[in-house]
């Protein structure tokens, strides 16, 4: 079919060994209520051997949606195909669609309308997982305009979003081909930062993300070293845009908790001694540069303690903490000071020999302990001591007695 001159959206699909997932993926683009005449597809077959390339050619020959197919040698990751597609895109907007995922029928129509109405450069559509989890915290309500610090969008950094192509071309934004995982996080965060606002479509499922049974999705494979490369790229990007301070610390939560912390969970206990130490060594440059009190106080106690032990290089304390969590033991809630500031008594709380500051155990954000919500005391007048409360009560009793008439 002849290509439209300026489509509203270019859907970019990088495909490697994508059968049979590619079939519903492409069908979902054809089914868009936006209309075939307002969409184009650029599909890049990244060296597939399972019939992916042949199916793309067949689809392009018969579909009402203008489709161009590129066949290339395998690039080893998703960045190369996405960059090829972006170089060829003609649409006002681009949407990067993974070949194993698919769109809701009204997805592109709703997202384009949202971006056009508000002049925003990035639009997030509600996501639903098929056989896997999906981000939820940022989809509580539809938002015409938001940003990194007024919402939880930093916790969804996949590239499967609507981007205004003018923004990407203005800054020559492309995916880092040296990264084999996490390349989308770096790209998307940069788009958030550079954008003229972000919109959220939360009242309609725009994207269905599918868990592959064959384990070939890049996030299900690859060595742990890739995860540290991904964390480094994202942390360095944040540092490039934001000087030390609250905004940098707020954004650093994402790579610390989502990318780095999973390298030090129960699986770390099962790893060989050499692997354990290697992970600690890989984390050291990152914690030296970016692990700050501002980041720490924004985390829940068990997360903070793990990262503190990692930053200190204390494999022994990390092991004890992880075993405590694995055993599903419940820490005692200890309240200290006149305001009753809560601390969670995980292993080595108050142990001077271990050298972990009490503040690492302090509750600084609300969290649940054994079904009970533990919160930070509200700022205000300090709670009076027991002795002070007794004195006040005696004074009230004395005043009450003095005001009563004497019996005749």
CA distance 130 to 5: 35
Query: How many whole angstroms separate alpha carbon 171 and alpha carbon 168?
Result: 6
**CA 72 to mean position of chain CA atoms:** 31
The most distant pair of C-alpha atoms in the chain lies apart, rounded to whole Å, by 110
DSSP string, 288-315: HHH--HHHHTTS-HHHHHHHHHHHHT-H
Phi and psi (nearest 5°) for 362? -75, 140
Task: Provide the 8-state DSSP code for 178.
Answer: T
Long-range contacts (CB closer than 8 Å, 24 or more residues apart) made by 325-331: 325/266, 326/266, 326/269, 330/369, 330/370, 331/301, 331/369
Pairing of strands 93-96, 9-15: parallel
Quick one: which of 15, 135, 143 has its CA closest to 75? 15
**Catalytic sites, residue numbers:** 184
């Amino acid at each position: 079919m002849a290509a439209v001159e300026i489509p509203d959206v270019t859907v970019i699909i990088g495909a490697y060994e994508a059968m049979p997932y590619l079939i519903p993926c492409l069908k979902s683009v054809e089914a868009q209520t936006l209309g075939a005449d307002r969409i184009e597809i650029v599909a890049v077959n990244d060296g597939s051997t399972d019939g992916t390339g042949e199916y793309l050619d067949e689809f392009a020959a018969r579909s009402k949606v203008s489709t161009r197919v590129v066949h290339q040698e395998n690039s080893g990751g998703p960045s190369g195909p996405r960059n090829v597609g972006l170089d060829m895109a003609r649409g006002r907007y681009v949407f990067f669609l993974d070949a194993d995922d698919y769109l809701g029928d009204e997805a592109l129509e709703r997202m384009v309308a949202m971006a056009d109405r508000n002049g925003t450069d990035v639009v997030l559509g509600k996501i639903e997982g098929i056989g896997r989890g999906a981000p939820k915290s940022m989809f509580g309500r539809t938002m015409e305009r938001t940003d990194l610090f007024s919402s939880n969008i930093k916790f969804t950094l996949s590239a499967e979003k609507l981007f205004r192509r003018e923004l990407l071309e203005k800054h020559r934004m492309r995916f880092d081909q040296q990264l084999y995982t996490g390349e989308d996080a770096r790209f998307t965060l940069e788009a958030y930062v550079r954008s003229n606002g972000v919109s959220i479509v939360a009242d309609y499922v725009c994207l269905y993300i599918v868990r592959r049974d064959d384990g070939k999705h890049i996030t299900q494979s690859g060595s742990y070293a890739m995860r540290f490369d991904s964390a480094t790229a994202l942390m360095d990007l944040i540092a490039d845009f934001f000087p030390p301070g609250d905004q940098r610390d707020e954004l650093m939560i994402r790579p610390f908790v989502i990318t780095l912390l999973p390298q030090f969970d129960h699986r770390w206990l099962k790893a060989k001694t050499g692997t354990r130490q290697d992970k600690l060594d890989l984390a050291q440059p990152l914690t030296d540069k970016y692990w700050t009190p501002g980041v720490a106080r924004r985390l829940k106690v068990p997360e903070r303690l793990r990262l503190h032990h990692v930053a200190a290089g204390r494999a022994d304390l990390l092991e004890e903490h992880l075993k405590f969590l694995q055993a599903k033991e419940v820490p005692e809630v200890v309240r200290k000071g006149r305001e009753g500031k809560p601390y969670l008594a995980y292993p080595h709380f108050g142990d001077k020999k271990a050298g972990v500051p009490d503040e690492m155990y302090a509750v600084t954000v609300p969290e649940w302990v054994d079904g009970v919500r533990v919160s930070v005391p509200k700022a205000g007048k300090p709670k009076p001591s027991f002795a002070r409360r007794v004195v006040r009560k005696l004074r009230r009793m004395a005043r009450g007695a003095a005001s009563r008439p004497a019996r005749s």
